[in-house]
Amino acid sequence: MIFDYLFDQHNFCTFVVPVCDQDKWEPIDLDKWVLDLVSSKPPIATRNDFVNNLYEKRKGGSDKKLIKVALFSDIHVDYTYTEGNNIECGETVCCKEKNGKPSSDANKAGPWGHH
């Protein structure tokens, strides 16, 4: 299939998103990379509540109202995406009207997309 050809590691990295030299490209173990990165941080920064603790410290017991902001980047809008449609369709991109309704709630496309 043309899709498989375009998105194999050589073509994607070299032609589709020309950011890497194929001769130097090596697959990495993402889990190991993240763990290695986190292991170099101070122990306090490796906890899941690190950011929440920063907010509380910044607030300092005052009545200041703090807000958290989520930044979304690299968003891809699909105007044919339909919430509630089937996420399992055997195609690369699902969740469209033509994919119909799922047989279970677990396979329903959510309101903000499905990866």
Could you read off the pLDDT of 1-36 as tens digits, one per residue? 555 555 666 666 666 555 565 565 567 777 788 788
Q: Is the pTM of this model over 0.85?
A: no
What is the tens place of the pLDDT at every residue in 33-62? 878 887 888 877 777 787 778 877 877 777
**Number of domains, the chain:** 2
Residues 80 and 103 in one domain: yes
Structure token digits, residue 46: 């490796």
As a whole number of angstroms, the distance between CA 45 and CA 109 comes to 34
As a whole number of angstroms, the distance between CA 15 and CA 29 comes to 23
What pairs with residue 96 in β-bridges?
A: 81
Residues 51 and 100 in one domain: no
What is the predicted pLDDT for the residue at 91?
Answer: 84
> Residue 82's domain spans which residues?
74-115
Phi, psi for 70 (deg, rounded to 5) = -100, 130
What is the predicted pLDDT for the residue at 55?
Answer: 77
